[in-house]
Amino acid sequence: MKKFNWGTGIFIFFVFYVGWLAVTLYRSTQIDHHLVVEDYYAKDIAYQTHYDKVKNRERLVRDLYIRYQTDDNKIVLDFGPQKNEIDVIVNLYRPDNKWRDLKKNFNNISEPSIEIDTNDLKSGRWVVKVEWNDGVRSYYKEEGLFINSA
């Protein structure tokens, strides 16, 4: 029987260490590392206009109210009474998979609320990003929702 010495211990340590590195390297190649937003850098540069839209919401008499109705499977965007017709862009953003994102445009809306059907959306966490313009200013709001599809 061989005697266990320092050289054997160091060899065993390096074998396990290299094995652990190989497993870690292999597992890292199995993860999808794509950017969730395609034009990430352009959006980062245009952040000031985004910030202005968020600040414009502070001037509103009544802020946009976003809610998910589980019984109807609808997202309701309640703008409240509007003086002018508004143009609305709604992005339904899925944080874990950019291919499930959905974008809807609504033009010349005079009703106080908009309903968006969610029957075709996969259950899970969604972020509702709403951008609207009343002819005077542009506004932006986003809110996270958990959608349970039937």
What global pTM score does this model have? 0.69
CB atoms within 10 A of CB 139: 23
Q: Are the CB atoms for 107 and 116 separated by under 8 Å?
A: no
Tell me, what's the pLDDT at 150? 57
Mean pLDDT of the chain: 86
Please report, as a single letter, which amino acid is at residue 5: N
Please report which helix (H) or strand (E) contains residue 26, including its range.
helix 6-29
Tell me, what's the pLDDT at 35? 59
Mean pLDDT of 107-119: 86
Tell me, what's the pLDDT at 136? 87
- For the chain, report the end-to-end CA distance as a whole number of angstroms: 66
CB atoms within 10 A of CB 147: 19
At 10-68, the pLDDT tens digits run 999 999 999 999 999 999 888 776 656 677 777 778 788 888 898 988 888 888 899 99
User: What is 40-147's CATH superfamily?
Assistant: Immunoglobulins (2.60.40.10)
